[in-house]
Structure 1
């Protein structure tokens, strides 16, 4: 009888073990079969992430802001997101690439500011300097042209006046002084209020931004768009963050099967690493 009981116990144990191994094996198979869209040797956003089957890059002009963003240089695969003080950000599991853009040590270049910088440097590099300008949270417009001529804001509460208090200086070094001013007095709220709203997924372009204005708010930028023959669209996203840190190309933690691509929708909840957009709104730089 004891031998019979022992045999039954052993058989039961083996069956239980087999039952436990089964889901583990299924999980391993699922992980192995998940598509991998990452090219670790890729040195730009366009080269780092491959196309899902049936999708192609949307076409963009080689002189456009869209092309400029798509072809941003990336640091070597595995590079860490670094804070403005030179220390690694505490969370390193939410990105697949780090843009080769420095982070000023003053701590000002936070989420909205990082994207303002990309837009401003594009306009600078393409000799469109007269188009560089942004509103303060107060609603007052501050252009690079005015700043370069020596005008500085005198701020008293919500009252802002621009007075000529410095010599004209159109240098690149002074351009970055101007950006520090913009970082100080602009942000997600001013961008949310200032910029044109994009109201349909079909109209979204590379360089458009998913935004919630506030204190704090957050904003991320569309870095690439893939489209299928059936007009389905997938998106890559980049972000800066608070504290000021490296601009990075985001994973899709909610849908690993297409990561780092995202499916986006208007007026919906969209999760990105570190933030949830409860009711999505998209805006576009002028």
Structure 2
């Protein structure tokens, strides 16, 4: 091969290489067709400006809120005030609870620093506050785990329990005191000797899902057990229902409105069934049972 031919081939290869390089470089700047990717997101039923349970959560399409009398316990729960959106669940020691991903709202109900107002106690507190505010104080009373009944009326008159194992007797050892401060002393006594086990044994069981009301509770009685409360109900034309749930917890902490972590498409609403497994943030009820305050 002569030098002339070799140089010609070398120039040809160099030209091909340069042309290819120019083409690749040019392609980097060719017009790119803009595409739009559809992102499917779940509807949000949360109203960040809502300052009560009923205002914090929107109703899903084709559902309506179940109507209750404005003076009822059901309406009292539905209208519970909430702290501003994003508020943290606070433990009895004043510190944020370690888990903050399971709630959609925090109720404006204080948490006593004594640590006694745990899961069942928080719901006892709500029921008692309703009866106090509606001048039904004579109905305030709960069973101890032993089965003995302790009423506010008797406590206010100065009667205190003497507890010896499972035996409880009441004796007048204090002056009569019907004040709100003494009412909270009474609740602390109830918190100490009552719980999920006593509520499970004492309260009326609801055996038909269609008859559940706001204020009814999903319960597992035991040591430990757990209990949560229905805070709102919506229903469609087919009779299908969705529910909002609130809970206190152990250790004692803020009462809070629960997210539905198992079904984000309807969260914070829940579908509830009798005799079924129901999971809420931090707890699973293996076999659902519902009870109602008397």
Structure 2 length as normaliser, TM-score?
0.87
2: CA distance, partners of 1:167 / 1:191: 29
- 1:82 is displaced (CA, Å) by 0.1
Find 2:170's aligned residue among 162, 165, 177.
162
1: CA distance, partners of 2:177 / 2:145: 25
Question: Which position in structure 1 is the counterpart of 2:285?
Answer: 277
Structure 1 length as normaliser, TM-score?
0.90
| Bigger Rg, which one | 2
**Which whole-Å deviations, capped at 9, do the CAs of 1:254-277 have from their partners, x for residues lacking one?**
000000000000000000000000
Find 2:140's aligned residue among 132, 140, 149.
132
Aligned-partner SS, 2:223: coil
Question: Which position in structure 2 is the counterpart of 1:39?
Answer: 47
1: CA distance, partners of 2:167 / 2:81: 40
**Which whole-Å deviations, capped at 9, do the CAs of 1:117-159 have from their partners, x for residues lacking one?**
0000000000000000000000000000000000000000000
**Which whole-Å deviations, capped at 9, do the CAs of 1:196-228 have from their partners, x for residues lacking one?**
000011000000000000000000000000000
1: CA distance, partners of 2:107 / 2:129: 14
1: CA distance, partners of 2:128 / 2:245: 19
Question: Which position in structure 2 is the counterpart of 1:12?
Answer: none
Aligned-partner SS, 1:73: coil
2: CA distance, partners of 1:176 / 1:51: 36
Question: Which position in structure 2 is the counterpart of 1:250?
Answer: 258
Aligned-partner SS, 2:219: strand
Aligned-partner SS, 1:142: strand
The aligned runs of 1:181-192 (5 Å cut-off) are 181-192=189-200
1: CA distance, partners of 2:257 / 2:174: 39
Find 1:73's aligned residue among 81, 91, 97.
81
Aligned-partner SS, 1:109: coil
- 1:94 is displaced (CA, Å) by 0.1
Q: How many residue pairs are counted as aligned between the two chains?
A: 259
Question: Which position in structure 2 is the counterpart of 1:87?
Answer: 95
Runs (4+) of structure 1 exceeding 4 A deviation are none
Gaps of 5+ in 1: 4-24
- 1:217 equivalent in alignment to 2:225: yes
Aligned-partner SS, 2:81: coil
- 1:170 is displaced (CA, Å) by 0.3
Gaps of 5+ in 2: 1-16, 18-36
Find 1:147's aligned residue among 130, 155, 167.
155
